[in-house]
Amino acid sequence: MNKWIITVLIFVIAFVLYNNKKEEGYQVIKPADAKTMLEQSKDVILLDVRTKEEHQEKHIGGSLLIPLSSLEKEAEKKLPNKEQTIIVYCRSGNRSKTAVNLLLSLGYKNVYDLGGINSWPYEIK
């Protein structure tokens, strides 16, 4: 019985450590907090990773468009400061999560996942 408990504890500890490392640096931000950050600092980049057509249809004002499909190629050119705060959004939250993880893997440090524009309760252009 004791060996079984120890085995389960080791498994749980390993699982927790693995998941914490996997999500290291990943940050989710609520719309209200993102809006505050954007209003308080001109140095925050709001990054839209949807397609050009989706961006033209509607977008959050002041956002920079880099579609997820070209983010890896264009990131260093369009986002040269890897210390700069970047808030990422898409339509529903799936692409933004992928984009945040990609940016973190490229060495960006202050990246936030806003999720989808569908959850943005403020003005949309």
Cα angle 46, 47, 48 (rounded to 5 degrees) comes to: 125
CB-hemisphere CA count at 13 Å for 90? 18
90 is catalytic: yes
| Annotated catalytic residue, options 44, 46, 47, 90 | 90
Q: Annotate 16-33 with DSSP letters as a single string.
A: HHHHHHHTTT-EE--HHH
Q: Which amino acid is at 63?
A: S
**Catalytic residue ranges:** 90
